[in-house]
Structure 1
Amino acid sequence: MDGADVVEITALTSIDEIDAQDWDRCADPEGAPGRPPENPFLTHRFLKALEDSRSVGRGSGWAPRHLVARLGGRVIGVMPLYAKGHSQGEYVFDHAWAHAYERAGGEYYPKLQAAVPFTPATGRRFLAAPGENRAAVVSALVQGAVQITASNGLSSLHITFCEEDEWAMGAEVGLLQRTGEQFHWRNRGYADFEGFLADLSSRKRKQIRRERREATDSGLTIRALTGDALEPEHWDAFWRFYQDTGSRKWGTPYLTRDFFNRLQESLRDETLLVLAERDGRPVAGALNFIGAESLFGRYWGCTEHHPCLHFELCYYQAIDWAIAHGLETVEAGAQGEHKLARGYLPVKTHSLHWIADAGFRRAVAEYLEAEREAVGDEIAWLSERSPFRKSDLTQDIEEHD
């Protein structure tokens, strides 16, 4: 990219304002026919499903403001961006920041959020088209987002669950760095689930085998469905499960019923729905999304409670499916130290932040420095309590250091 060229940044109020091919060239630059997208949540069709189903938009607190970077008229980069009227559905919690800012007399909301709504999955947030100077695209998108934040009198900009290299690049242009933790499973070339169990300590192998037996002891049948095997009645069942979980966790479920119809229409090949059935009737389910290298666990729910069924549908079935399809990782969503005993190890997650008020920015920076150290200490402590045999754990850490 010639330094004399001017990059034009525009903000969209709907994903429909950009051609799907232009967006997806940036979101999945290595995409190929028949290959799942690198990250299904960043595709035009996923973001469109959220908007068209009114899961985001008017009345949701998530107003689309997607950024598009153009050079000479061609799209060179995009960013999924939203004006937020609250801090719900983000999974990188800044409620304490909002309360402190408002106690000091400021207005924290609205703010800008570069994220995929309701989705705590790591992925690129500065999406550059293939062949472009990625560092220059990142710089242009950051400058554009900061300028929109400042010129509209917004309190802050937040870029959550970004990739680690973006985290580093963001710090170079003055953004504040934050870390968190999740639990991910890694495939070390296992031939089957028993191969994975062989890497665990004897006690943990026995525990997992017992849990898998208990999950189906009451006569349940488990089916993993994707693509054309998914039918509308499966989404009717899962909607019941999702409503039950959502009402208990969030008060009001984030996604509308129509969102699941749109998954059926345009995303069923990137969707894996694991159902537990009694006499052909679904009684529990776990929803996953399929990427080129990862399986992303998202939602779970049930109308019947059975011992260990949550572990079976959400964790063990996901591992089974990832091994069978050669995927490298399973990301099982936010939080949950209970995942450690099931073979999911702690990893860092990353976010970037820009605070308009200089004094508040300094206070947040001090907090984040202490928080990063605490997160690092906790991950080290948890890693020492891994279910893997020590020699295998050391090798895994070295391979992914």
Structure 2
Amino acid sequence: MSDPQNPIIAKTFASVAEIGELDWNACAGASNPFVKYAFFDALERSGSATSLSGWHPQHIAIVDAHDQVQAIMPAYIKSHSQGEYVFDHAWADAYARAGGNYYPKLQISVPFTPASAPKLLVRGDAPTAVASALPDAAASATVQLGCSSAHATFLTKGELEVFKSKGWLERNDQQFHWSNRNYSSFDNFLETLTSRKRKAIRKERREALSGGIEVQWKTGESITESDWDVFFEFYQDTGNRKWGSPYLNRTFFSMIGESMGNDVLLMFAIKDGRAIAGALNFIGADTLFGRYWGCNTHVPFLHFELCYYQAIDFAIKHGLDRVEAGAQGGHKLARGYEPVTTYSAHYIAHPAFREAIADYLENEREHVALDQLEMRAYTPFKK
């Protein structure tokens, strides 16, 4: 695996703190907020992603002969499949019925984050072979740690090809993203839609903001601890209804507010001087990522207003290329969000189980492709 002149050595680390902020960010870069040191540090030090929650950090790094970190793969040993958004519960059931233990498994991902983000984090001046060494290191770690499999989720298309070249299995899914085609305003975007869809969106926006509701955007130092208190109540309500219990604790939000406030966009719907709904977004170099939403008062279409239309408005005003509004949601299609393919790669240690999964994924990819073709026929844009 190693060139004697430029040895490639893999190590595992039990926290991002063991790697350190300087080395981590030198590999992660600054364009995507979810792979920054501050985001992982908040997840781990807040207790949101730790062994107690079934996310045991086991980050994989490639170091050189001088122990200088050259590349990083964020990874966790998992005892369950919660908080991943690429669903493998059926695989776990099949493995158990065959008499095996699917858990623990190795999860290469950003916990609780179904957003496009690089997983092969490479220092800019690192040798070209370093990136391709990471999937090999993950496969070796899978066996050494006694895991059944390894799963790298929400990869970039380029990263997928690296994993596939190492024999990992490709899995495809679908999300709905909004693309900025150099729009000058929200109205300019609406002009590209059919008349019926344009009128429907304008009606939804009017109803969502009726009764004197106003929307506030907050980022950076304008976000206070009181704001986080209010938003956390919204987050808990949504989390309790969708997942049984929220994944993130209150400390996590304070930590990201302090360490990466300029990457955070909080949107509040205000009525009679108090917040009745809120949405949390993260700001990347070219993408706005919508993450969480909640409310304490039901207002028709307010969810669409805060999570979709306000996000589009912000992206246009700040020259961002895309809005990623989270996992699933075919209802986004009528609101200008288009189907895009998401990618993951899977290493299955057991040969027979790997063969069965490979057959399953081939059929699933065909289904996803056909579904996406059908969805594209129903986009609201003028033909």
Interval containing the TM-score (normalised by the shorter chain) = over 0.9
1:56-75 equivalence runs, <5 A = 56-73=49-66, 74-75=68-69
* CA positional deviation for 1:133: 3.5
- Secondary structure of the residue aligned to 2:253 is helix
Which letter maps to 2:296?
A: T
Q: Distance in 1 between matches of 2:234 and 2:307?
A: 13
Q: Is residue 2:29 matched to residue 1:20?
A: no
Query: Who is 1:282 aligned against?
Result: 275
Deviations 1:285-321 (A, max 9, x none): 0000000000000000000000000000000000000
Q: Is residue 2:189 matched to residue 1:196?
A: yes
Check the 8 A contact 1:277/1:284 in 2, yes or no. Answer: yes
Where do 4+ consecutive residues of structure 1 move more than 6 Å?
none
1:234-383 equivalence runs, <5 A = 234-383=227-376
Mind listing any 5+ residue stretches in structure 1 that lack a counterpart?
A: 29-36, 391-401
Q: Distance in 2 between matches of 1:198 and 1:388?
A: 9
Query: Who is 2:77 aligned against?
Result: 83
* CA positional deviation for 1:2: 8.7
Query: Who is 1:184 aligned against?
Result: 177
Comparing 81-90 with 2-11, greater Cα deviation is found at: 2-11
- Secondary structure of the residue aligned to 1:148 is helix
- Secondary structure of the residue aligned to 2:300 is coil
Q: Distance in 1 between matches of 2:339 and 2:299?
A: 27
Q: Distance in 1 between matches of 2:146 and 2:40?
A: 26
Deviations 1:49-72 (A, max 9, x none): 001110011310101001111112
Query: Who is 2:95 aligned against?
Result: 101
Q: Distance in 2 between matches of 1:3 and 1:384?
A: 51
TM-score (norm 2): 0.98
Deviations 1:39-98 (A, max 9, x none): 101000000000111001131010100111111222210011000010000000000000
Mind listing any 5+ residue stretches in structure 2 that lack a counterpart?
A: none
TM-score (norm 1): 0.94
Query: Who is 1:139 aligned against?
Result: 132
Q: Distance in 2 between matches of 1:21 and 1:38?
A: 16
* CA positional deviation for 1:380: 0.5
Which letter maps to 2:89?
A: H
Q: 2:123 aligns with which of 129, 138, 161?
A: 129
1:167-182 equivalence runs, <5 A = 167-182=160-175
Which letter maps to 1:152?
A: L
Query: Who is 2:215 aligned against?
Result: 222
Query: Who is 1:53 aligned against?
Result: 46
Which letter maps to 1:170?
A: F
Which letter maps to 2:200?
A: Q
Check the 8 A contact 1:126/1:137 in 2, yes or no. Answer: no
Q: Distance in 2 between matches of 1:2 and 1:113?
A: 25
Superposed CA RMSD: 1.1
Check the 8 A contact 1:286/1:300 in 2, yes or no. Answer: yes
Percent identity, aligned pairs only, is 52
Query: Who is 1:10 aligned against?
Result: 11
Which letter maps to 1:100?
A: A
Query: Who is 1:152 aligned against?
Result: 145
Equivalences, count? 381
* CA positional deviation for 1:138: 2.3
Q: Distance in 1 between matches of 2:145 and 2:162?
A: 25
Q: Distance in 1 between matches of 2:328 and 2:27?
A: 29
Q: Distance in 2 between matches of 1:275 and 1:300?
A: 10
Query: Who is 1:120 aligned against?
Result: 114
Check the 8 A contact 2:2/2:8 in 1, yes or no. Answer: no
Check the 8 A contact 1:7/1:70 in 2, yes or no. Answer: yes
Q: Distance in 2 between matches of 1:290 and 1:264?
A: 13
Which letter maps to 2:79?
A: G
- Secondary structure of the residue aligned to 2:51 is coil
Q: Is residue 2:208 matched to residue 1:207?
A: no
* CA positional deviation for 1:218: 2.1
Q: Distance in 2 between matches of 1:385 and 1:288?
A: 27
